[in-house]
Amino acid sequence: MNDRLNWFTITVSGLIATLLFASDIRAVASIPTTANRSEFSAPELIAIAARKKNKKRIVRKKVRIRTQVKPATTSTAPTTSPTDVTQTPPTTTPVTPPPAPAEPSVTREEVEALRRSNQELREELIRVDGKAAETTKKVEQLDKQQFSLNTKLQGQVIFGATGTFGGDYSRNTAFGHRTRLELKTEIGSGTLTTRLQAVGLGLSTQNPTGTAAATNEGSLSWTDGTTNSSVGIDALKYEFPLTPQTQVVVAANAGAADDFADTINPYFDGDGASGSISAFGNRPSIYYTVQGQGVGIRHKLNDTTELSLGYLARAGNDPATGSGLLGGDYGALAQISFKTGENSKVGLTYTRTFNSDPGTGSSNANLGGISSNYGVQGSFQLSPQFALGGWVGYTQNQASSGDRQIWNWAITAAAPDLGGKGNLAGFLVGQEPRVTASGIDSLTGINTTDTRAGLHIEGFYQFKVSDSISITPGIIYLTAPNQDANSSNAVIGAVRTTFTF
């Protein structure tokens, strides 16, 4: 019985082993190979399958090893055997270049606008080239025709109309001019000024019709009464710096105090071309006593104080007896001025003169002799749109008619930029030089004291048409022309048009 069981057990085990072997053979047969399966036996197929499984395991192992190895941190890589499957050479990480910037999209309108801009630029360059060629041609012409490289020409023309509308003077209206051409030549460190001038306009108050006398009162600031319009050399002077603080002026003809001294009357003193329409309102009368040929010095003591000294002879170019630089009529000036604020000044002035009269005021105030003249002037800028000023002048005069005392004064008000930039409104009230006390003339027995205190009242408005043209209408009212009780009030009107170039 036991033998039967053992045989049965062996038989079943063999059958099971045979079935298992057959299934392995079918699995191996399913693997594709390049050789024909019929060429191998079952044991060979089993061996081939085992080798392929081992090869797959080796490949998977290599992949796992490569994923675990980190790149080398040094430039030298470890040397490995070609047959060593556990080590692989480090791989360098490729550098990825940055992406190229995307090209901006351009519309058709932008392209057309660019084309138009290029065309306009091309046309503009053509115009510039043409202008450059024209300028070059003009420069070449100027080089051939130039007068001087260091001389500049400046010009000024005044058209003036004036007439008297009241008083014992001619009622005729006159129209004339004052023309100036200045050549400024740079010589060394200084400037030589040569001025040509022609005047053609008379004075209304020099033509009395009744009991009034001819007088300098009411004289216009841009004419000396000359009517022939003859051209001559007016100012001829050389200015140069002696030191950075000292300016020297040498006048060979028609020198004036304002060449080297501040007249402390900025809005009214335009030397006839601007500001006041009258000579009296143009500047204090004391400055008119120094004119002719000579020298002047202007020295800046500090930032606020200035000293002026000068000597001018009225006939300094005449060597005849009683004339000349030292033997004839003269005027010597000394002035110290103080800056009291922004655009505000005060000046103290003294002049010593011989037969050098102010040319303003009554006839009695212009009789010559030796005079000591004292003046105090001031101008105060109360605001950018308003300034007050004025002066007082006193003269001690020794003439053939006896010792005399002469006074003059004025109060001024100015409104710059009134009604527009560059415009100027001005008002003045004062008294032109008047003899207030006098001795008896030893020859005629006449007392030369003026018989009536008259006022000079003036108003003007300067309108700026352009940088080169201004028009100034004005009116002068004299309550007693020539400071004479026999003269009736006079009204003088004037319109001045100034051209500068």
Give the pLDDT band of residue 43 (cuts 50, 70, 90). low
User: Could you identify the residue written with the tokens 């006193």?
Assistant: 394
Contact partners, residue 467, CB within 8 Å, separation at least 6 = none
Asked if 245 and 300 count as a contact pair (C-beta separation under 8 A), the reply is yes
Compute CA distances 282 → 216, 250, 274, 460, 469, whole Å. 14, 24, 9, 12, 20
> CA torsion, points 117, 119, 125, 131, in degrees to nearest 10?
-110
Annotate 203-228 with DSSP letters as a single string.
Answer: -GGG-B-SS----STT-BTT--S--S
Choice between 439 and 148, residue whose per-residue pLDDT is larger: 439
From 23-27, 126-130, 225-229, the region with the lowest mean pLDDT: 23-27
What's the Rg (C-alpha) of the chain? 55
Segment 19-45 mean pLDDT = 51
CB–CB of 411/393 below 8 Å? no
* C-alpha–C-alpha distance, residues 45 and 139, integer Å: 110
**Rounded Cα gap, residues 429 and 279, in angstroms:** 13
pLDDT of residue 57: 58
Query: What confidence score (pLDDT) does residue 373 get?
Result: 98
Residue found by looking up tokens 């053979």 in the block: 25
pLDDT at site 285:
97
Is residue 229 pLDDT above 90, yes or no? yes
pLDDT at 161: 96
Q: In the predicted model, what is the mean pLDDT of residues 408-431? A: 97
pLDDT at 480 over 60: yes
pLDDT digits (tens, 9 = 90+) for 48-80: 665 655 555 554 554 454 544 444 444 444 444
pLDDT at 50: 59
Q: State the chain's mean pLDDT as an integer.
A: 84
